[in-house]
């Protein structure tokens, strides 16, 4: 479990949020996002996605364990935004 002090780390000019994940396929695992709102976890092959909101100390999954259908337009928009990271979920998680 990371501490509040460790939760924001400057990496090459960007802020990286680090903390444990709660819920979804990453429940109990460490998570990371380079942007302020959290990250979108995408399993492209299964066509599923999970939204993890950054609370300041942890990433909270807002979706049911089975996730939501992937919306390709939305995930591309999220990737281009300055609010959300987009992370691949495969083989049990790329995180």
Q: Which residues are near other proteins by CB under 8 A?
A: 11-14, 16, 32, 34, 42, 44-45, 75-76, 79-80, 82, 85-88, 90-91, 94-95
By the 10 Å C-beta count (0-12 exposed, 13-18 middle, 19+ buried), 12 is classed as: exposed
Q: How far apart are CA 59 and CA 95, in angstroms?
A: 13
CB of 26 to other proteins, least distance (A): 12
The least CB distance from residue 22 to other proteins, in Å, is 19
| Smallest separation, CB 94 to other proteins (Å) | 5
């Amino acid at each position: 479990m990371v501490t509040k002090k460790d939760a924001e780390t400057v990496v090459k000019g960007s802020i990286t949020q680090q903390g444990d994940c709660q819920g979804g396929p990453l429940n109990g695992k460490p998570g990371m996002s380079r942007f302020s709102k959290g990250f979108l976890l995408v399993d492209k092959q299964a066509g599923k996605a999970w939204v993890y909101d950054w609370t300041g100390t942890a990433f909270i999954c807002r979706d049911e364990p089975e996730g939501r259908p992937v919306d390709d337009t939305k995930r591309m928009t999220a990737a281009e935004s300055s609010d959300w990271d987009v992370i691949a979920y495969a083989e049990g998680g790329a995180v």
